[in-house]
């Protein structure tokens, strides 16, 4: 059974969703019959629904405003719009995309502290009124174009925590300038209603959130003293969207830290064991900065959390080069560690790479950790003998390398490699450099999740659907097994 979700997205509904690997295998077989070896994405939309269900269950006080920049695929936005999330948009185009899905403008935050004036005019015209700022020039622009906007001061969070992508270098008002900036906003009779921050994308330490929430409280109090009515706290993005490995922070750890810091669970005094790690409660002074009875609404801007694990890619091996040992370049090519093959290091060329879907590898400081954990080989491959190998993208640029040093059994031109956890910042950053085609998409969803979300489609005749947006509160959530939740906080 297939359903259209608009904008040429056709979703295959399956009663039982096999492993991502076997889904990909079945598509590979299909494509091979058509003599087609283009790379392709497999998109599990049910995964996004489960992430949402988990968020609402585990972080009920924090309303998610999905960061569109992370993956603006129509199906992602449609599913999240129908689930009732809000959206964090960075530009007119992103706002337009979300409004086209009949999302109420009140469910959008224009979370770019530097806005092009024409975009600002557009948001005024569409009544997208909640937006962030962190500098004086922005206040004057807003005064001129959209004086009634609801403003959140984006602050610089304490910066001594590890993150994949550092954002503080470009955004966030330094604590020493907060008072001055608020005073200017007051003198312009602008409407400051809250505080926002972003600890950095791919946050690697839960305490980063606690420390930023503490700082946000100070700014709240300052703004209240100046006479602003403060009602909104935006705790940004940074949550992992995949099963994290050693040294990475889990969603559950971030959640626990936030809940305690915001308001809840003062009884959490002892360290607790979560899977293999011990989670410590935040230090006492970090507790209850935003008690619920104060009435402050708390939102977040998760991007990668929602989409990372939903998307996998299959890429075809289009070339292979066996490099004699003496020709290996120690900077670029792998060192043979297997001991089995003392003559060769093998270079594989696949038909997607750094200029396509793997661009985040170029920027992500945590990339060595946030790696493609579901990297999978073709089935029935003898893995007892492996060789030092590297995997390269298809363009003519030397930096186009996906895996610099990995141990693989010998593969052949025409074989496929699968990579999981490809949903974040892959589609949006990818280009067609060197004229390389972008991968095509195959959308899937498990039937019980799909029909819970869209019961009206449970009829025999396939038709184009118009979905009524549902509110977060009004929506019945799909059930995720507790075991899954326990696994990694999802």
Find the shortest distance in angstroms from Cβ 212 to ligand PLP.
13
- Judged by CB, which is closer to ligand PLP: 201, or 446? 201
The CA angle 283-286-287, to the nearest 5 degrees, is: 105
Is residue 168 a contact partner of residue 157, using CB atoms and an 8 Å limit? yes
Q: What are phi and psi of 203, to 5 degrees?
A: -65, 135
- CB-based contact 75:310 (threshold 8 Å): no
Among 172, 302, 366, 430, binds ligand PLP (CB under 6 A): 302
Contact stretch for ligand PLP (CB under 6 A) within 41-49, 296-304, 439-447, 456-464: 296-304
* Among 340, 429, 307, 367, residue whose Cα is nearest residue 164: 367
Q: Is 115 in the site for ligand PLP (CB under 6 A)?
A: no
Window 409 to 438, contacts with ligand PLP (CB under 6 A): 424
C-alpha triplet 347, 351, 352: angle, nearest 5°: 100
For ligand PLP, the closer CB: 281 or 489? 489
Q: How far apart are CA 431 and CA 429, in angstroms?
A: 7
Name the E strands within 92-166. 108-110, 130-133, 150-154, 163-165
Binder among 111, 296, 422, 445 for ligand PLP (CB under 6 A): 111
Q: Which of 198, 215, 255, 287 binds ligand PLP (CB under 6 A)?
A: 198
Kindly compute the dihedral angle of the four CA atoms of residues 247, 253, 255, 257, in this order, to the nearest 10 degrees.
-110
Options 246-254, 272-280, 300-308, 393-401: segment touching ligand PLP (CB under 6 A):
300-308
By CB under 6 A, the residues from 331 to 390 that bind ligand PLP are none
Furthest CA-CA distance within the chain: 74
Q: Which of 239, 290, 372, 442 touches ligand PLP (CB under 6 A)?
A: 239
Query: Applying CB under 6 A, which part among 235-243, 256-264, 455-463, 464-472 lies near ligand PLP?
Result: 235-243
The rounded distance, in Å, linking the Cα atoms of 188 and 410 is 68
- By beta-carbon proximity to ligand PLP, the closer residue of 40 and 305 is 305
Question: Beta 344-350 vs 277-279: how paired, if at all?
Answer: unpaired
Interface pick for ligand PLP out of 64, 194, 238, 394 (rule CB under 6 A) = 238
Euclidean distance between CA atoms 320 and 333, whole angstroms: 14
Q: How far is the CB of 90 from ligand PLP (least distance, A)?
A: 7
- 252 is a contact residue toward ligand PLP (CB under 6 A): no
CB nearer to ligand PLP: pick between 316 and 359: 359
Of 24 and 156, which CB lies nearer to ligand PLP in the complex structure?
156
Site string for ligand PLP, 37-76 (x = CB under 6 A): ------------------------------x--x------
- 257 CB-near residues (< 8 Å, 6+ apart): 206, 207, 209, 210, 282
- Inter-CA distances, 10 with 44, 103, 444, Å: 12, 22, 9
Is the Cβ–Cβ distance between 250 and 274 less than 8 Å?
yes
Query: Count of alpha carbons within 13 Å of 455, Cβ hemisphere only?
Result: 6
Interaction of residue 204 with ligand PLP, rule CB under 6 A: no
Nearer Cβ to ligand PLP (114/377): 114
Q: What are phi and psi of 294, to 5 degrees?
A: -75, -20
Residue 86 within binding range of ligand PLP, rule CB under 6 A: no
Q: Do residues 1 and 459 lie in contact, with contact meaning Cβ atoms separated by under 8 Å?
A: no
Instruction: Please report whether residue 290 would count as binding ligand PLP according to CB under 6 A.
Output: no
Count residues near ligand PLP (CB under 6 A): 18
User: Does the annotation mark 203 as catalytic?
Assistant: no
- Cβ proximity to ligand PLP: between 27 and 154 the closer is 154
Cβ atoms of 437 and 7 closer than 8 Å = no
Which among 94-102, 119-127, 265-273, 298-306 is the span making contact with ligand PLP, rule CB under 6 A? 298-306
Per annotation, catalytic residue among 70, 396, 406, 459? 396
User: 194, 282, 303, 489: which one contacts ligand PLP (CB under 6 A)?
Assistant: 303
Least Cα distance to 357 among 417, 422, 401, 437 occurs for 422
| Residues lying near ligand PLP in the complex (CB under 6 A) | 67, 70, 88, 111, 167, 198, 201-202, 236-239, 301-305, 424
Catalytic residues: 396
């Amino acid at each position: 059974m297939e359903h259209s979700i608009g904008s040429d997205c056709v979703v295959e509904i399956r009663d039982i969703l096999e492993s991502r690997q076997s889904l990909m295998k079945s598509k590979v077989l299909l494509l091979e019959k058509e003599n087609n070896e283009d790379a392709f994405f497999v998109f599990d939309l049910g995964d996004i629904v489960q992430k949402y269900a988990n968020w609402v269950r585990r972080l009920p006080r924090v309303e998610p405003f999905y960061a569109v920049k992370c993956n603006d695929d129509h199906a992602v936005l449609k599913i999240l719009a129908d689930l009732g999330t809000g959206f964090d948009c960075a530009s007119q185009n992103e706002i337009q995309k979300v409004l086209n899905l009949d999302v109420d403008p009140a469910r959008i935050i224009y979370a770019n502290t530097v806005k092009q004036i024409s975009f600002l005019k557009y948001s005024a015209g569409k009544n997208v009124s909640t937006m962030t700022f962190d500098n004086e020039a922005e206040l004057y622009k807003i005064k001129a174009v959209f004086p009634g906007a609801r403003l959140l001061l984006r602050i610089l969070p304490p910066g001594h925590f590890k993150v994949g992508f550092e954002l503080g270098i470009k955004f966030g008002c330094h604590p020493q300038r907060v008072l001055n900036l608020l005073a200017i906003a007051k003198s312009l009779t602008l409407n400051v209603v809250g505080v926002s921050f972003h600890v950095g994308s791919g946050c690697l330490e839960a305490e980063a959130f606690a420390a930023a929430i503490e700082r946000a409280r100070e700014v709240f109090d300052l703004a209240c003293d100046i006479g602003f009515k403060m009602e909104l706290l935006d705790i940004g993005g940074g949550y992992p969207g995949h099963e994290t490995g050693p040294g990475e922070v889990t969603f559950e750890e971030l959640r626990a830290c936030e809940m305690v810091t915001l308001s809840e669970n003062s009884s959490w005094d002892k360290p607790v064991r979560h899977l293999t790690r011990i989670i410590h409660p935040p230090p006492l002074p970090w507790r209850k900065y935003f008690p619920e009875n104060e009435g402050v609404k708390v939102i977040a801007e998760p991007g990668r959390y929602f989409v990372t694990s939903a998307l996998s890619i299959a890429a075809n091996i289009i070339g292979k080069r066996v490099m004699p040992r003496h020709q290996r370049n120690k900077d670029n090519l792998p060192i043979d560690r297997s001991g089995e093959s003392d003559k060769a290091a093998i270079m594989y060329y696949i038909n997607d790479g750094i200029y396509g879907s793997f661009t985040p590898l170029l920027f992500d400081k945590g990339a060595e950790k946030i790696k493609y954990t579901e990297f999978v080989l073709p089935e029935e491959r003898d893995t007892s003998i492996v060789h030092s190998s590297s995997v390269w993208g298809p363009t003519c640029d030397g930096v186009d390398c996906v895996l610099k040093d990995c141990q693989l059994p010998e593969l052949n031109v025409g074989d496929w490699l699968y990579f999981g956890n490809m949903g974040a910042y892959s589609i949006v950053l990818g280009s067609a450099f060197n004229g390389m085609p972008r991968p095509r998409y195959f959308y899937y969803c498990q039937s019980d999740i799909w029909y819970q979300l869209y019961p009206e489609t449970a009829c025999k005749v396939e038709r184009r659907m118009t979905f009524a947006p549902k509110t977060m509160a009004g929506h019945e959530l799909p059930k995720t097994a507790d075991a899954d939740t326990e696994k990694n906080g999802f």
